[in-house]
Amino acid sequence: MARIEMNYPAYGISTMNIVMPQYGDAGSNRKMTKEAFYQEKFPVIWLFHGGGGDCTDWLRYTEAERIAEENHLFLICISVGNTAFADMQRGNHYASLINGYIWDLIFDMFPMASDKREDNYIVGFSMGGYGALRNGLEHPEKYGAIGSFAGSVSMVQQYVNGGWCPAYAGSVFGDKTIGSVNDTWYMAKKAMDEGKAPFIYLSCGTKDDAHYPCNIEYRAI
């Protein structure tokens, strides 16, 4: 498997980890020729880290790389700090960056990565789960499916109800809360009303007191 650690110019210099298919990664590769392996473009999984994490989390704590090897996938892990992958009201606009500049950059750099909707999946853990829902629901034309693992699906609602530090969450969401693009509930309902509901995979541990109740509620939509 080929791995890339990258420092790239964004708002200042940012870091990103990428896993990239290489012929011979998995034993199953031997069943096909090298030419056949590289014939078709590879699907892309966008992996979002949780609060306090960074672009190394998914590679360090999970089997993501092995799974990518067996399934011939690109993994794109981005670092955004504790910004919930949103356009911060007082700070950097990460959602715009990811869906504009970084999206263009990745497909400019890697012609073998497929930019088709059905080949792009957006997935996150905890805060990143919120980020995946927020960005996936905002850009259904880009992402074929959304995955949220123990996602903070109700971040905006919790912020409005005083569940997050006002100084921190305020700088992220500001007055763009309920009923805005930051509201994962509103965006999901809107997509369903319009008959354009994307495929969403929600998962949460039953002992995860902080995330389980809101995930159960969210599933009910």
Residues lying near another protein in the complex (CB under 8 A) are found at 1-12, 20, 22, 24-25, 38, 93, 96-97, 100-101, 104-105, 108-112
State the Cα–Cα distance between residues 216 and 41, nearest whole angstrom.
Answer: 36
Cβ distance to another protein smaller for residue 48 or 110: 110
User: Minimum CB separation from another protein for residue 55, in Å?
Assistant: 13
Cβ distance to another protein smaller for residue 19 or 137: 19
Cβ distance to another protein smaller for residue 25 or 57: 25
User: Minimum CB separation from another protein for residue 6, in Å?
Assistant: 5
Cβ distance to another protein smaller for residue 109 or 145: 109
State the Cα–Cα distance between residues 7 and 5, nearest whole angstrom.
Answer: 7
Contact yes or no for 209/179 (Cβ under 8 A): no
User: Minimum CB separation from another protein for residue 82, in Å?
Assistant: 19
Cβ distance to another protein smaller for residue 26 or 145: 26
Q: Over 110-138, what HEC string results?
A: CCCECCCHHHEEEEEECHHHHHHHHHHHH
User: Minimum CB separation from another protein for residue 11, in Å?
Assistant: 5
User: Minimum CB separation from another protein for residue 109, in Å?
Assistant: 6
State the Cα–Cα distance between residues 114 and 43, nearest whole angstrom.
Answer: 6
Look up tokens 């541990």; give the residue: 205
Of 74, 75, 92, 72, whose CA–CA distance to 84 is shortest? 92
User: Minimum CB separation from another protein for residue 39, in Å?
Assistant: 11
Q: Letter for the amino acid at 141?
A: E
State the Cα–Cα distance between residues 162 and 134, nearest whole angstrom.
Answer: 20
State the Cα–Cα distance between residues 127 and 82, nearest whole angstrom.
Answer: 8
State the Cα–Cα distance between residues 116 and 96, nearest whole angstrom.
Answer: 19
Residue 163, token pair as written in the block: 């569940």
Cβ distance to another protein smaller for residue 18 or 133: 18
